[in-house]
């Protein structure tokens, strides 16, 4: 299964592509989609939509794992990111990619084993689990890889549970 993890934003959207099968999980590709701040906000959203659609065409994921938003102190930024997330969800849905959504706490729990882990712990554990020489950069890409890894681990645990139930 090819899983496209997405850390949503409108200025910078991180992505990470994993391959998950019975042999394990492998990192295939990661990076960021950016929009220039000189553009008007609606044009940035249009560019984000087009770029995510192209990303889906190139990577051909079987599923997408998208982080749910955590509302921090800056509500203005949060609203913009919400718009970006909506555009990303639309692009994935229009491309017929099944979307799975995870909270930051679920991602931390799946990757580190502790739902209140610090960002650096998640990045380091992601690096270790995927046998990466160094942590992914920028942080948006590292976050997206962790989100994809969360889905891979969630799916494998669900599949193994279903498998054991079928044997009974």
Question: Which residues sit opposite 68 in a β-bridge?
Answer: none
**In the Cβ-directed half-sphere of 167, how many Cα atoms lie within 13 Å?**
6
Complete DSSP assignment for 128-167 = HHTT-SS--SSHHHHHHHHHHHHHHHHHHHHHHHHHHHHH
Rounded to whole angstroms, the Cα distance separating 18 from 12 reads 20
21 is catalytic: no
140 is catalytic: yes
Rounded to whole angstroms, the Cα distance separating 85 from 8 reads 5
Distances (CA, A) of 33 to 17, 72, 88, 96, 110: 13, 22, 11, 20, 25
Catalytic residue among 21, 46, 68, 140: 140
Catalytic residue among 46, 50, 57, 67: 67
Among all residues, which ones are annotated catalytic?
Answer: 7, 67, 140
């Amino acid at each position: 299964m090819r899983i496209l993890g997405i850390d949503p934003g409108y200025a910078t959207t991180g992505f990470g592509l994993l391959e998950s099968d019975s042999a394990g999980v492998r990192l295939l590709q990661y990076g960021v989609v950016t929009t220039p701040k000189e553009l008007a906000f609606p044009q940035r959203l249009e560019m984000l939509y087009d770029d995510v659609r192209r990303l889906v065409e190139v990577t051909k994921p079987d599923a997408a794992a998208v982080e749910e938003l955590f509302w921090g102190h800056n509500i203005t930024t949060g609203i913009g990111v919400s718009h970006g997330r909506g555009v990303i969800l639309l692009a994935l849905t229009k491309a017929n990619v099944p979307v799975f959504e995870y909270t930051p706490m679920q991602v931390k729990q799946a990757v580190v084993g502790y739902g209140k882990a610090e960002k650096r712990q998640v990045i380091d554990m992601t690096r270790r689990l995927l046998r990466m020489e160094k942590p992914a950069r920028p942080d948006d890409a590292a976050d997206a890889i962790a989100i994809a890894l969360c889905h891979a681990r969630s799916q494998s645990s669900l599949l193994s549970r279903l498998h054991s139930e079928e044997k009974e």
